Amino acid sequence: MVAMVEFAKMNGLGNKILVVDMRGRKDHVTAEAAIALAANAETTFDQIMAIHDAVTDGTDAWIDILNCDGTKAQACGNGTRCVVQALAAETGRKSFTFQTVAGILGAIEHDDGLISVDMGRPVFEWDRIPLEEEFYDTSRIELQIGPIDAPILHSPSAMSMGNPHAIFWVDGDPMSYDLERFGPLLENHPIFPEKANITLAQVTGPSSLRTRTWERGAGLTLACGSAACAAAVSAARTERTGRNVTIDVASSPIRQPLVIEWREGDGKVIMTGPAEWEWSGQLDPSTGAFEREAEAGVSAK
């Protein structure tokens, strides 16, 4: 029988996160466990952030990221903030360095409880995003939904923040668009060989955006940190805003903006925002069976 591990149900601006402590173990959270946890109303999530022992000198942990459909994700900014809050509460430390499939990133918890994550440098080359077709300028690619002479969405900015993103610029409130209908079509469009996160972005001021995201492997999400970063970078890249913006995540129930800075010096993207603990428990990483801390001995399937 596989020993249970500690986990916390958290959220980053509404983005539903499970932080799972896999340190000291050689196994992993399985896709089957992720699917079972996602199907349960108590543990439903957008991403699992599984903390493993560090594999590289100078880092604090390896973070394995799973989507709710059991597939692997390369990056999750909101989830990283949750990991920082959990480890800061455990250790008393404020600064951490993590390694993911997308690379090494640093994060800091500030005195006010907000957390900044170094999301790395954006990637614009078509074959590294990746796209199926070559585009010299990925700030505007040929892709549309709707009638050819009056498309509903068109000409997105494409880029990677460790995972592929397409940012569609809209004039109205992103909540007024039927993203639940268009999201799956665009996520799985042949132009994205590794699928893509689909974001609707509205420019609301010279340094502010309003966004809503269909997340690759997770569907409609209350918030997506890497998508917020992609929208901010794409807005600056297309001269819609400057390099420092606040993001109003339209679908989030938490009315607190993300602050995104695309630094000029090193080209890195720094995301600052909140994280929130909800409850803790133990789970079986092979099956997804779990117990809430307040309900010791009562197992949920």
Whose CA is closest to 227, among 214, 240, 243?
214
Whose CA is closest to 129, among 153, 98, 165?
165
Distance CA 197, CA 257 (A): 20
| Catalytic option among 68, 76, 82, 229 | 76
224 is catalytic: yes
82 is catalytic: no
Question: What is the separation of C-alpha 163 from the centre of its chain, rounded to a whole number of angstroms?
Answer: 9
CA atoms 188, 193, 195, 197: torsion sign: negative
| Catalytic option among 68, 82, 224, 229 | 224
Render the chain in DSSP notation, one character per residue. Answer: -PPPEEEEEEEETTEEEEEEE-TT-S----HHHHHHHHHSTTT--SEEEEEE---STT-SEEEEEEETTS-EES--HHHHHHHHHHHHHHH---EEEEEETTEEEEEEE-TTS-EEEE----B--TTTTT-SS--S-TTS-S-EES-TTS-SEE--EEEESSSEEEEEE-SS-GGGS-HHHHHHHHHT-TT-TT--EEEEEEEEETTEEEEEEEETTTEE-S--HHHHHHHHHHHHHTTSS-SEEEEEETT-SS---EEEEE-TTT--EEEEE--EEEEEEEE-TTT--EEEGGGTT--B-
**Among all residues, which ones are annotated catalytic?**
76, 224
